[in-house]
Amino acid sequence: MAEQVVVFCSNYRRELEALNLPENYGDIEVIYFPSRCGMPSIEWTKLKEQLPEVGDDQELHVVSCGGITGLAQTQLIADRHYNYDFKQCYHLITSPDLAEYYIRKGFYLVSSGWLAYWRDILEGWGFDQPTAVKFFKETTRAILLLDTGVDPAAETNLQEFAGYIERPRETVKVGLDYLKLLLSNRVLKTRAEISSQADKTQLAEKQKEFADFAMALDLLNTLARVRQEEAVLESMKNMFHMLFAPKAVNFTSAAHAVAASNPAVINDEDSFIVPVQGSSGLLGYLEIIGVNQPRYLAQYKKLADKIVNICGLAIENARHYQTIKDLSNTDGLTGIANRRKLEEHLAQEWRRLLREKKPLTLMMCDIDFFKRYNDLYGHQAGDDCLKAVANVLADHSQRSGDLAARYGGEEFTLGFTHK
């Protein structure tokens, strides 16, 4: 008979099967209860009657997710680091702080298990498609899948659900690390209370690993808000300085890296290298040099492997943000600055030159008889004319303060400063 019994929502069956608790920890049995999504909470005493019998000599752990009432605190699996009782199931796979950050951004968070039954859940809420569309448009900016990577149909289900409620969709790959650490922390703590000092030592290591991982998620929460690539890289280095207290942290982009695709450890005693991956592929290599406590090097490397690719996503997000910002400031036809960028640039240069007591020149020009030319030779010729004028003006924008811009229609400006 198993020493410990874990009672889990059936929506997370794939995740639990992937973690394989009985094989990895032994003396553990996993029991699943039907999902309560879209249904009222159920009393634990009633639910227990529907489950296989649990002996009095077995330690019982239950994941509530807000769907079960009447549970004793000693039986409820909760996040001890945050002193947080789970009210939503996504708190099992990511930190409450990171989840709260996405919620504040207007995302509706879902798991792959939830998406597998989204039609039944909406029906349980009493929604048809018009009411579902109205509800989510009023309350949600986009649907965000916290993907643990265990369901190959997750992206398809996300696409169908987002299309049904007419909302944009995004995916963040969270993996199983947070859930694994959460469960192992509870399982090993219980085992240590009924077992040997050796297990207590293992528990302490797991708790330290969990604490380090939780702290890393808090730091990543801050990193996710940075919008400039240089600032992301600096914040990323600071994060690893805080986690490992090394002598140096270096990032080498893939374009400049000479290292192999699977670089070796720099120094077996106190340093290592990890590749930084993004959705587009390899972004570079992170060098952690001279950690403060080399005896934890293997643990540091393991933690770095878990979080470094989230850093990669932050780098890509900053690049996407800059690309979008550049596009919003560029005239789509001519490729030079648009009126919005012009007004922003003029305000900035005006303040700078006012401090430096230097003149600013702004030339406005208009293409004469452009409408007649356009009507006579066609819109394509008119577009080519606008591009040619824009190229001439751009060629005369040589210094950092110079700016060629399309003011509107066939009107252009050229602003420049004097030495």
CA separation for the pair 280, 334 (Å, rounded): 29
For 58, the token pair is 């077995």
Confidence grade of residue 265 (pLDDT, cut at 50, 70, 90): very low
CA separation for the pair 4, 54 (Å, rounded): 9
pLDDT tens readout for residues 159-181: 999 999 999 999 998 898 888 88
- Averaged pLDDT of the chain: 80
List the chain domain ranges.
Answer: 1-89+177-194, 195-326, 339-417
Report which DSSP code applies to 84. B
Average pLDDT estimate for 72-76? 56
- For a pLDDT cut of 90, what percent of the chain falls above it? 21
What is the per-residue pLDDT for 210? 65
- Cβ atoms of 248 and 289 within 8 Å: the answer is yes
Counting every residue written for the chain, the total comes to 419
Q: Which fold has domain 195-326?
A: Beta-Lactamase (3.30.450)
What are 190-193's contacts with CB under 8 Å, separation 24+? 190/4, 190/59, 190/61, 191/3, 191/4, 191/25
What is the per-residue pLDDT for 402? 86
Cβ neighbours of residue 153 closer than 8 Å, sequence gap 6 or more: 112, 116
Is the pLDDT reported for residue 216 higher than 80? Answer: no
**The tokens 């430096």 sit on which residue?**
356
- Cβ atoms of 220 and 311 within 8 Å: the answer is yes
pLDDT tens readout for residues 195-214: 655 555 566 666 666 666 66
The CATH number that domain 339-417 falls under is: 3.30.70.270
pLDDT tens readout for residues 373-393: 988 999 999 999 999 999 998
What is the per-residue pLDDT for 281? 83
- Cβ atoms of 272 and 289 within 8 Å: the answer is no
Report which DSSP code applies to 10. G
CA separation for the pair 365, 394 (Å, rounded): 14
Which of 112-116, 263-267, 295-299, 302-306 shows the highest mean pLDDT? 112-116
Average pLDDT estimate for 224-249? 81
Of 210, 177, 206, nearest to 307 by C-alpha is 177
What is the per-residue pLDDT for 83? 33
Is the pLDDT reported for residue 13 higher than 50? Answer: yes
pLDDT tens readout for residues 146-159: 999 999 999 999 99
What is the per-residue pLDDT for 148? 92
Of 33, 23, 32, nearest to 2 by C-alpha is 23
- Give the helix, strand, coil percentages of the chain, each rounded to 5: 50, 20, 30
Tell which wins on pLDDT, 321 or 360: 360
> For residue 265, what are the CA distances in angstroms to 37, 209, 247?
47, 21, 16
Tell which wins on pLDDT, 84 or 286: 286
